[in-house]
Structure 1
Amino acid sequence: MLFRNYQWLLSGLCGMLLLPLLFCLPSEAQNSPYSMFGLGEVNNGQEILNRAMGGVSEAYSDGQTINFINPASYSELQLTTFDVGLDLGSEKISDNQNNTYNSTFGTLSYLQFGVPLKKGGGWGLTFGLTPLTKMNYNIQQNDSLKGSSEPVSYLYQGHGGSYQAFIGTGFRVKGFRFGVNAGYLFGSTQRSTQAVYPQDSIGLYNSNITNRTSFGGFFWNAGVQVHVKLSKSTALELGASGGTNVKLPASTDYLAETFYYTGDPSNQAPQNLDTVSYQKGASGKINYPGHYGFGFLLHDNKHWTVGADYQVSKWSDYSYFGQKDSLQNSSTLRMGAQYVPNMSPFAKSYWSIVAYRIGFYTGTDYLHLNGRSLNTYAFSFGAGFPIRNFSRGTQYTTINTSFEIGKRGTQSDPLSSNFFRFSVGFTLDDIWFIKRKYQ
């Protein structure tokens, strides 16, 4: 009885928390200098379950989980699945001049829906929406003009981001699984640079340059997984996935203007003086990078699982209207494990059916600042809490959590940070499209 009360208590908490978070959670980082580059700071689009295992996902498949990283996993869907992930976190960012920035963020990580197309698994369909990048920065730099003592204050601002809406399918042929995702990648960004001369003594005009860009185009990626049975209860899973570069048609509006203040700039909006240049709807291309990864999992009927991945994103191929940015190829090695004490849905102890997870990842970041590469690493841990577990074959609902603590760069790099991220995922599974015989 106590076990069932645990489940219904968690189920109620899930319902009370989910809807307010979906509608009230901010979708952008708060003043992150990292988001100045490319299309913004790259989101972690992995399933929350996998993040707690260090992000190990290439070979992962589960009948009640949607693993977007490798669409071959869709073939194992057993139940109609609704999956939503949320991120919360903070970051303390430092530059090599001992200046610090505190950044907090909260965002919808993914929204996914999956349906098995074949009874008992073997063919599945998934669609959803995933944020890819987020941009939100507001940075002031005080300096002086070259060859002059005239002070100047630069203000760099930007906001926006990119998203992908996708549909995917995966199917199984004996021990092989194949899958593909296709969809639309879209978004918009706005960047502005202001130069303000607070003690103008030589007749200089304050200036502002703004670029507003919108973009969108189709993408695809594919994956494969192989199941190798080693013994009656033990199996090896192999997986690989990848996607090509995407050339996104883009349109940008460019504005250069001068402005002035009639009083104190700290409590007054700027007044337009003159439009120096204006160009509307200039067309071009944004080259969004491809990626690939591969990995393995070893498990004992999912009672325990260990695995590792290696993933690469080709950010050196990124370009904006033909211009490169301070980006490089990123590479990440991921390792993780999961342990479930009791796989039976009729276990007497609630805590014996909780999935406990731990992981680690390390690699080279996609940012390349002032000729220096940023190294990154993080430890992760979390758990999967069943909140409705009547039967894994009919209804199964879980709250997955992940905690990540890590570091990006070192004190000698142009930017470095210590970060903490908490992620929570709500996975609701049920049988649909089957007529009930008894009410």
Structure 2
Amino acid sequence: MIKRILIVVLVTISTSLVAQRNSSSPYSFFGIGEDVSRTTVEQSSMGGIGVALKDVNHLNFINPAANADLRYATYALGGELSLLNISSSTSEDSGNTTSLRYIALGFPIGKNAGFSAGLQPVSSVGYAVLNSINDTNGDFLEATRFNGNGGTSRIFGAFGINVFDELALGVEAGFIFGTVENNISNQRAGVSLLTKYEKETRVRGGQFKFGTQYKKKLKNDLEVVAGAAIQLESELSVSGAERLYSFNFSAVTGQEEPRDTLYDRSVSGQLINPVKTIMGVGIGKQNKWYAGIDYEFQDAFVNQGNVVQGSTYRFDSSNRLSLGGYYIPKVNSISSYWERITYRAGLRFENTGLLVDGTNSGTNFTQIDDFGINLGFGLPMPRQLSSLNLGFEYGQKGTTDNNLIKESYFNIRLSLSLNSNQWFKKRRID
């Protein structure tokens, strides 16, 4: 019962809203956090496309088959600054966060294969929301504060090989791990003690993905590429503990002093992620221009043990449509630096699969959608083939309908893609 009441307070926020974004949005309260896009900054700048993208100079996190095209040792590091504005039907606030998106290394294996490995976030939790309720005279009645942090990450390795001149196959294995912490404190007028609910869960599990790309050369140096990637069904183990207790604050130290514990127990369960499929097609000229479209879909995950499920929200199937591409005026221009810049742009339309009932009726679930407009630039560095990549995204997520929250965000992304054909060569002794 207490979980239901506390979740309702979070999503309605009917009186006042004070939010600070630490690593994610208030929607990261649900499940194991807000999903983090597992794309490079270059791919994000094109709306998140990449399943049919072949590139010898940059890593591809969407399709492991793309590793077959690596011709240089490539080191990639990406980060993000996100500016967020949150609004309900009655109030609004803003915040910002910085985060590391990935760190990865890829290199060729012979002339027809390549391997990459890295570390990147999978989901993110980070919110601080205060909800205050006053009576008709403006006197304090009740205040509830929600705090959450943590998330999950993954380490992965991916291998791709050109089976034929036109066909590449790839496989990827990853391990997901992380800890999610949520706590909710409640204070009521005329009651000396506060109540606090704490929950900490640890998430562990493996993941496998297979991918393929097929390239067909046309006239005038045009290339058409079709790609597909399938992430197999996987089980994530969720375990931890939850506690409900009363407390007050020490007059000397100002720290919490626990009093009575209502319960302190362990929790455990499984999150079963169904098969995720990504398909796409693209056309372009190598080192000149490219335009592509990706479509991703996945059924709702299955929650065994009811560890992360609530009565006022649920998960359904999700899907994403991405469109984008790049243009390079003249990749080998000597006279103009601006002609060597890679210009990127894209759009993203996403149904997150999260449905929230802000009215607490048990039947009025609202789908949470996400939309983004992307623009990016690949700035060549003095070192041959390496680049500094900038990406900008404006997007909106959620709605203020049915007592819910709408987010407007502006993301600034930065990455380094460093290439070298000398890293794995033996040095000669003069």
Question: If the length of structure 1 is used for normalisation, what is the TM-score?
Answer: 0.83
Aligned partner of 1:49 in structure 2 is 42
User: Which of 159, 165, 180 is residue 169 of structure 1 equivalent to?
Assistant: 159
Q: Deviation digits for residues 311-352 of structure 1, max 9, x if unmatched?
A: 1243x21526335353332222111121111122x6321111
Q: Deviation digits for residues 179-207 of structure 1, max 9, x if unmatched?
A: 1110210000111122212323xxx7532
CA distance 1:377–1:31, change in 2 (3 Å): closer
Residue 276 (structure 2) pairs with residue 291 (structure 1): yes
Aligned partner of 1:238 in structure 2 is 226
Aligned partner of 1:220 in structure 2 is 208
Partner amino acid, structure 2, of 1:311: E
User: Which of 236, 246, 249 is residue 248 of structure 1 equivalent to?
Assistant: 236
Q: Is the 8 A contact 1:309 1:333 kept in 2?
A: yes
Query: Offset of 1:401 from its aligned partner?
Result: 1.2
Q: Deviation digits for residues 228-281 of structure 1, max 9, x if unmatched?
A: 1112400101111121332122321222211124669xx93332112222225x
Aligned partner of 1:191 in structure 2 is 182
Aligned partner of 1:416 in structure 2 is 406
Q: CA RMSD in A?
A: 2.4
Aligned partner of 1:362 in structure 2 is 349
CA distance 1:273–1:284, change in 2 (3 Å): same
Partner amino acid, structure 2, of 1:208: K
Misfit runs of 4+, over 6 Å: none
Alpha-carbon distance in 2 for matches of 1:144, 1:212:
31
Partner amino acid, structure 2, of 1:178: L
Alpha-carbon distance in 2 for matches of 1:320, 1:260:
36
User: Which of 109, 116, 122 is residue 126 of structure 1 equivalent to?
Assistant: 116
Aligned partner of 2:306 in structure 1 is 322
Report the number of matched residues: 393
User: Which of 160, 164, 180 is residue 171 of structure 2 equivalent to?
Assistant: 180
Q: Deviation digits for residues 359-398 of structure 1, max 9, x if unmatched?
A: 11223233212111123222111111110354xxxxx211
Q: Is the 8 A contact 2:245 2:263 kept in 1?
A: yes
Partner amino acid, structure 2, of 1:99: S
Structure 2 unaligned regions, length at least 5: 1-20, 358-364
CA distance 1:411–1:213, change in 2 (3 Å): closer
Q: Is the 8 A contact 1:30 1:103 kept in 2?
A: no
Aligned partner of 1:6 in structure 2 is none
Aligned partner of 2:296 in structure 1 is 311
Alpha-carbon distance in 2 for matches of 1:283, 1:410:
32
CA distance 1:63–1:297, change in 2 (3 Å): same
User: Which of 61, 78, 85 is residue 85 of structure 1 equivalent to?
Assistant: 78
Structure 1 unaligned regions, length at least 5: 1-27, 391-395
Partner amino acid, structure 1, of 2:99: T
Aligned partner of 2:370 in structure 1 is 376
CA distance 1:404–1:234, change in 2 (3 Å): same
Per the alignment, in what secondary structure is the counterpart of residue 183 of structure 2?
strand
CA distance 1:187–1:70, change in 2 (3 Å): same
Alpha-carbon distance in 2 for matches of 1:406, 1:294:
23
Partner amino acid, structure 1, of 2:382: R
Per the alignment, in what secondary structure is the counterpart of residue 49 of structure 1?
helix
CA distance 1:354–1:387, change in 2 (3 Å): same
Residue 415 (structure 2) pairs with residue 430 (structure 1): no
Aligned partner of 1:229 in structure 2 is 217
Q: Is the 8 A contact 1:295 1:308 kept in 2?
A: yes
Q: Is the 8 A contact 1:77 1:115 kept in 2?
A: yes
Alpha-carbon distance in 1 for matches of 2:119, 2:100:
10
Q: Deviation digits for residues 117-168 of structure 1, max 9, x if unmatched?
A: 013xx201111001011111122223489xxx99332222211100010111
Query: Offset of 1:93 from its aligned partner?
Result: 1.1
Partner amino acid, structure 2, of 1:412: D
Alpha-carbon distance in 2 for matches of 1:433, 1:162:
33
Question: If the length of structure 2 is used for normalisation, what is the TM-score?
Answer: 0.85
Per the alignment, in what secondary structure is the counterpart of residue 401 of structure 2?
coil
Q: Is the 8 A contact 1:288 1:319 kept in 2?
A: no
CA distance 1:262–1:124, change in 2 (3 Å): closer
